[in-house]
Structure 1
Amino acid sequence: MKVTLTSIPVQDQEKALRFYTEKLGFLKKKDEPLGGGNRWLTLFAKDWQDGPELLLEPGPNHFEPLKVFQNALKEAGIPWTQFDVDNVDAEYERLTALGVEFTVKPTEEGKVKYAIINDTCGNYIQLVQEL
């Protein structure tokens, strides 16, 4: 058994696509219309093309409990998910230059360094580097 797909709820798929590709560097894998203006829109990490796909899920627009949960996590400052990076400080510099908002600047804690970004689509995402 292995993970081949994971999803992140986004309030605007097109805005999320731009953020995740132009800012974070993911590449688009699938983009299939689902009806009602929704798409099966998946991305992959350019460094891990055979890795899991990231589905930009339009769920918050159609399922109120998901929207409530997403908003509650964000209000509490809790990231929806985590992306591993080789160097949090370098990502902080690169992403800040691209205008990405950090809610937590690079911080060391135990055997990791982490930072938290706002994906502009309803989520905080934690970037983590193992030390």
Structure 2
Amino acid sequence: MKVTVISIPVRDQEKALKFYTEKLGFIKKLDMPLEGGNRWLTLVSQEAQEGPEILLEPAPNHFEPSKVYQDALLAAGIPYTQFDVDNVQSEYDRLTKLGVEFSMKPTEMGTAKVAVFNDTCGNNIQIVEIL
């Protein structure tokens, strides 16, 4: 068994696509139209283009429990998911210059350094560097 696709709930797929590609640097892999104006929209990391895909999932727009869960995580400041980076401080500096808003600046926590930002699509995302 292996991970091939992980979903991140987003309220606006086009806005999410722009943020995740232009700010975070992911690459669009698949973009197929679905019913109701939705898309099967996946991204991959530049560093692992054959690795797991991120599905920008429009579930909060069509499934109320998903929206409630997403809202609760955001309000509590809990990240929906995390991405590993080589250097949290340099990634924080790069993203801050691009206008990304962080709720947690780079902070050492034991054997890791973390920071948390808002993806503008309803989620807190954590970046992590293993020290």
Q: TM-score, normalised by structure 2?
A: 0.99
Shift of 1:50: 1.1
SS, match of residue 68 in structure 1: helix
For structure 2, the 5+ residue unaligned runs are none
Cα deviation digits, residues 11-45 of structure 1 (max 9, x gap): 00000000000000000000000021100000000
Q: Tell me how far apart the structure 2 counterparts of residues 13 and 100 of structure 1 sit (CA, whole Å).
A: 18
- Counterpart of 1:2 in structure 2 is 2
Q: Tell me how far apart the structure 1 counterparts of residues 126 and 69 of structure 2 sit (CA, whole Å).
A: 17
After superposition, the CA RMSD in angstroms is 0.4
Shift of 1:120: 0.2
- Counterpart of 1:119 in structure 2 is 119
Cα deviation digits, residues 36-91 of structure 1 (max 9, x gap): 11000000001001110000000000000000000000000000000000000000
- Counterpart of 1:55 in structure 2 is 55
1:24-39 equivalences under 5 Å are 24-39=24-39
Q: Which runs of 4+ in 1 moved over 4 A?
A: none
SS, match of residue 31 in structure 1: strand
Query: Among the aligned pairs, what percent are the same residue?
Result: 71
1:43 maps to amino acid: L
SS, match of residue 78 in structure 2: coil
Shift of 1:113: 0.1
- Counterpart of 1:71 in structure 2 is 71
Q: Tell me how far apart the structure 1 counterparts of residues 26 and 105 of structure 2 sit (CA, whole Å).
A: 22
1:125 maps to amino acid: I
Q: Tell me how far apart the structure 2 counterparts of residues 68 and 35 of structure 1 sit (CA, whole Å).
A: 23
1:116 maps to amino acid: V
- Counterpart of 2:99 in structure 1 is 99
1:3 maps to amino acid: V
Q: TM-score, normalised by structure 1?
A: 0.99
